[in-house]
Chains A and B, each alone.
Chain A
């Protein structure tokens, strides 16, 4: 307990002195003659004084008055106690719902433990307190807007469930900061085990951030990588198993081809080390699964899927200094495995030894160079290897013609887009102008040698990214560059939204791994699936098509479930706490005691008067 206004205790001296002085004053009594005084008791209760000083006598009234004064002054000093509960009047809970929160080292799961902590904390809410809930999953969202309704908070908590995905804690915290960052009394409470990347670009504003760490153990062994490689003899399945725990572990790794086991091996993995296991694929295998039989506390990373024919997947390298629109549009395609870089790795340069890693390279405002990838998409920075030769710049070009016959610009209308600045280019031999303006070509494509698409303006120099046609254009470009390698079987990482082109306005239907079926409405010509949050097999039916998706976690970050002891952000370290505490004014008990003392004083006065 501490005193928020300790200086108020100085009031005790003058006020207490005044009370004692009043008792030092002598009462002027009325003389009354009696036959004998020896029968009268010496009962003097001096409650009034109107004469000069006398010797201080003990009086219960004085004691009670001094006690009341002490309590009143103590109240003025604002004694405060630290109590578990809401840390302030406005609190946003940011709940990590990622895969690591399903670890079962907290009695139940870490997620359940976090839910209970929030419930317990919200139960201490006082009138006027408001709280909110942000679900920090793969796509953070506000599960409950600021409210003082504990019942709604309970409902919101019950509506949440843990996922088998990575999480975006940074975005969740930014969302929370947007809610309460402007308030002095705002508090952001993050409940997580710390299995998330270092926080960047987060400002808490005026709010205070609290980190409640859940979980205790790092006992986990996970499949962190799975893939198929071509070898001279046959295709090989590669599986990487990492032991994240602090003890050496033994596990059984089993490989399945189309549901049938074709290899199983008992392995021993040292603490913290990675074990790689390869196996030749049986002929005709399509869907490959690795399963790990091990005693650990997280199950969702003990299985992973891949396809025997990787052509249906596209490894895309986005060369950019940062472009969220482009990044998200690429990531929406279920075929895409996206990597980002500011420069093209040397291994991808034409002329470097070995085959290239990527199927498609996207240059976003960075000058195009010759790469090994079979497809190149360039925005606003033509290079020597481009299909267009830059001759200058043009301002605010107006679209004059679009090649409607080309699949690349199907459903894409650039005439409604505002383009501030673009490169003025001349098409090279073999390049086809798909969109033209009054000052020069804006979109070109070529299939000579490799498949290349050139867009004369940078995404950030236009509002094209805000147009409905932008993700369609990206999808069309990937179809064009990827050779329209389509498949009705895909493997994805959990939590990642994927889209499929919608030929009709009819709903699609997604069957989840647990067997439940949900309808998916087409949006802007696409079905966007956002509910792929659990590992396992999904089936999506739209129109007359059926696609099967196998979702795996494959995230070292989530599999490394060792809880962190402090949250690092903005160069400072925020230690973890088991619960938030609030500084509560300790005035109610004092008021009760003070009233009791005054009641006693009144009773005593009435009795003696």
Chain B
């Protein structure tokens, strides 16, 4: 639990994140002016093209030099600059409450870091706690909104039993404008690949940050156990021996590879982190190197 007046991120981490901007691959149209160039012609300092003058055009955009030489009125057009919708989709299922520190705590810290970068970049930051019957939050803009975002994060708990795929299906079915959908989840759902594909097909750029606990990657269990699914409460009886562990690791690796492949197929990005990775290492080693941020 963080103390009152404290952020999820440490000051050092905040300083590290201030200079970063999200680097989405797709250019999506914004609703208000922002710092992101769009394909729309608009008002900015970025020259786009010439076109013939028509009645009603703002004469301030006439290229006087061309008019003087060629006696033809030509209008200069510029690229418009709009904001980008950044969706922070935080997995609040009970499966995230696993590991020490828990995956959910790590997810919240990563979400805070991503959100802070987005706010610093004047992007429209939306957030949704996946698993809860909450609508997507209204857009936050500007670093001053980080307080609200941090507060929202602090209010989230990993206590939902709704399956991740169902939550993502609901999100894509909503009226959210296309944007950069950053999913922070363990991705341990058999239908996650299908959900990622659906998310991408709705115009979102998918960025999946899979958070796993070291105990999940290399489980240290043995004996005759009844494994209880933290969400569905379904049970699997196993004899945890070397063969079972080996088969589990193979299954986990295949699942993660399938998830990464699904992300790449929709033009998205995928990165796997563990709960023990620090924000610094995440940003330096994975996000920057992977081109997530600039």
Which positions in A face B, CB cutoff 8 Å? 27, 29-48, 607-609
Contact = CB atoms under 8 A, between A and B. Distances in A.
Given A42-B236, A44-B238, A48-B224, A35 B230 contact: yes
Contact of B238 (A35, A38, A41, A47): A41
10 contacts: A29-B225, A32-B221, A34-B98, A35-B229, A37-B234, A38-B188, A38-B229, A42-B237, A43-B244, A44-B238
A38 B103 CA distance: 19
A37 B227 contact: yes
B223 interface: yes
Top 8 closest pairs, chain A to chain B, by CB: A35-B95, A36-B188, A29-B226, A41-B247, A45-B239, A37-B229, A39-B251, A43-B244
Contacts of B248: 39-41
B46 interface: no
Nearest to A38: B190
Contact of A32 (B225, B239, B243): B225
Q: How many B residues are at the interface, by size bracket? A: 20 to 34
A35 B216 contact: yes
Interface string B226-267: 111111101111110101100110011001000000000000
A35 B234 CA distance: 11
B96 to A, nearest CB: 8
Contacts of B216: 35
Q: Quick one: which of B221, B225, B234 has the most chain A CB within 10 A?
A: B225
A79 to B, nearest CB: 37
Contacts of B229: 34-38
Contact of A30 (B95, B190, B223, B231): B223
Contacts of B190: 38
A608 B239 contact: yes
B189 A36 contact: yes
Contact of B230 (A30, A34, A608): A34
A213 B216 CA distance: 82
B186 A35 contact: yes
Contacts of B252: 39
Nearest to A47: B239
Contacts of B236: 37, 40, 42
Given A27-B224, A37-B228, A41-B248, A46 B238 contact: no
A39 B255 contact: yes
A43 B227 contact: no
Nearest to A39: B251
Contact of B251 (A35, A41, A608): A41
A34 B212 CA distance: 12
B228 A32 contact: yes
A310 B240 CA distance: 108
A46 B98 contact: no
Contact of A34 (B103, B228, B239, B255): B228
A40 B238 contact: yes
A40 B243 contact: no
Contacts of A40: 227, 236, 238, 244, 247-248, 251
Contact of B239 (A31, A36, A38, A43): A43
B230 A29 contact: no
Contacts of B232: 37
Given A31-B226, A38-B188, 4 more contacts: A35-B229, A37-B227, A39-B252, A39-B255
Interface string B57-80: 000000000000000000000000
A383 to B, nearest CB: 108
B73 to A, nearest CB: 66
Q: Quick one: which of A35, A43, A609 has the most chain B CB within 10 A?
A: A35
A30 B226 contact: yes
Given A39-B255, A46-B239, A32 B227 contact: yes
A351 to B, nearest CB: 113
Contacts of B221: 32
A33 B223 contact: no
Interface in B165-213: 186, 188-190
Nearest to B189: A36
Contacts of A609: 239, 241
B251 A31 contact: no
Nearest to B186: A35
Nearest to B164: A36
A607 B243 CA distance: 8
Contacts of B238: 40-44
Contacts of B98: 33-35
A41 B249 CA distance: 10
Contact of A608 (B186, B225, B241): B241
Contacts of A46: 224, 239
Contact of A44 (B96, B234, B237, B247): B237
A33 to B, nearest CB: 5
A38 B186 CA distance: 14
B250 to A, nearest CB: 9
Contacts of B237: 29, 42, 44
Given A37-B235, A38-B190, A39-B248, A32 B226 contact: yes
B210 to A, nearest CB: 12
Contact of B188 (A33, A35, A47): A35
A32 to B, nearest CB: 5
B195 to A, nearest CB: 15
Contact of B247 (A29, A43, A45): A43
A37 B233 CA distance: 9
Contacts of B251: 39-41
Contacts of A35: 95-96, 98, 103, 186, 188, 216, 229-231
A29 B224 contact: yes
B103 to A, nearest CB: 8
A41 B216 CA distance: 15
A48 B231 CA distance: 29
Contacts of B227: 32-34, 37, 40
Contacts of A48: 224
Nearest to B253: A39
A45 B241 contact: yes
B30 to A, nearest CB: 37
